[in-house]
Amino acid sequence: MEEDFYATLKLKTGEEIFAKIAASEEDDRTFVLVSYPIIVSEVKTRSGKQFGYKMEPWLKTTTDDMFILKLEDILTMSESSDIEMISMYQSYVRQTSKLTGNISKTKMSRKMGYISNVNDAKEILEKLYKNS
């Protein structure tokens, strides 16, 4: 798995999203893991001058924060080094996480139960993907 980076993705559907992404290769296929994907829109004043940016979730009817995209569904990808954009994105993610409780400060313990080991989880996820 490659290191995470910030990027703008243009999908074949025409959607343009900004997110923190990582590439993953399995069985000769490349996937892109997308964390907290957002759509960025310019907000303008009545005079037509740019005032700022509006950020909203890419998918509005889910509380999931990570998605898997096939590389062939992406038209183009541009890595971002724009500090201002990255800072706005990180602020958005922090605010969203506080509202939805996705980033929890609860420490894991044995009382929470046994979920899976890495190999079993990978096997289950691969079966789910191949059957979809």
pLDDT digits (tens, 9 = 90+) for 54-69: 889 999 888 888 999 9
Band of residue 107 on the pLDDT scale cut at 50, 70, 90: low
**For the chain, what's the residue count?**
132
Q: 11 CB contacts (<8 Å, ≥6 apart)?
A: 17, 69, 73, 74, 75
Band of residue 76 on the pLDDT scale cut at 50, 70, 90: very high
* CATH topology for the 5-105 domain: SH3 type barrels. (2.30.30)
Q: What is the pLDDT of residue 16?
A: 94
Q: Which residues pair with 8 in a beta bridge?
A: 18, 78
Residue with tokens 């890419």: 58
- The number of helices, as runs of H, and strands, as runs of E, in the chain is 2, 6
Domain-wise residue ranges, the chain = 5-105
What CA–CA distance (Å, rounded) separates 30 from 27?
8
What CA–CA distance (Å, rounded) separates 24 from 71?
10
Residue 80 pLDDT more than 70? yes
